[in-house]
Amino acid sequence: MSEEKLQQIEQEIRQIKEELMGIGQIRPGSLTLQYKDPKEKKGPYYQISYTQKMRSRTQYVRSDWVEEIRHQIDVYRHFKKLIERWIELTIEHSQLKMKHSKHGESNS
């Protein structure tokens, strides 16, 4: 096992944790432009669709909130990527430590 590799993993995990501490408002879902009359493309409005606690939800979004909601969705996507990376790293870290432990026992 490479102690250096473990330290690299631990450092990346620390960086992820620091970045997560700075994340502001997040919002899952997708924001779409809809029309009250789709054929004529009249009456445009925005809606956000998302799933929470295994239930699909849709909400109307006022036009003055569109940019804020887009930003929250982008931050949420970044949040999810950070969490996935953290999980990957902790699995790799655990596997390295278990592998080292097995080798240590056989060398005793």
Count Cα neighbours of 36 within 13 Å in the Cβ-side half-sphere.
5
* Short-list 57, 53, 29, 34, CA closest to 45: 34
Burial of 62 (0-12, 13-18, 19+ CB in 10 A): exposed
Order of strands across the sheet that contains 42-52 = 30-37, 42-52, 55-61
Strand 30-37 relative to strand 42-52, pairing = antiparallel
Burial of 43 (0-12, 13-18, 19+ CB in 10 A): exposed
pLDDT tens for the chain, 108 residues long, are 588 999 999 999 999 999 999 999 999 999 999 999 999 999 999 999 999 999 999 999 999 999 999 999 999 999 999 999 999 999 999 999 998 877 655 444
pTM for this prediction: 0.83
Strand 55-61 relative to strand 30-37, pairing = unpaired
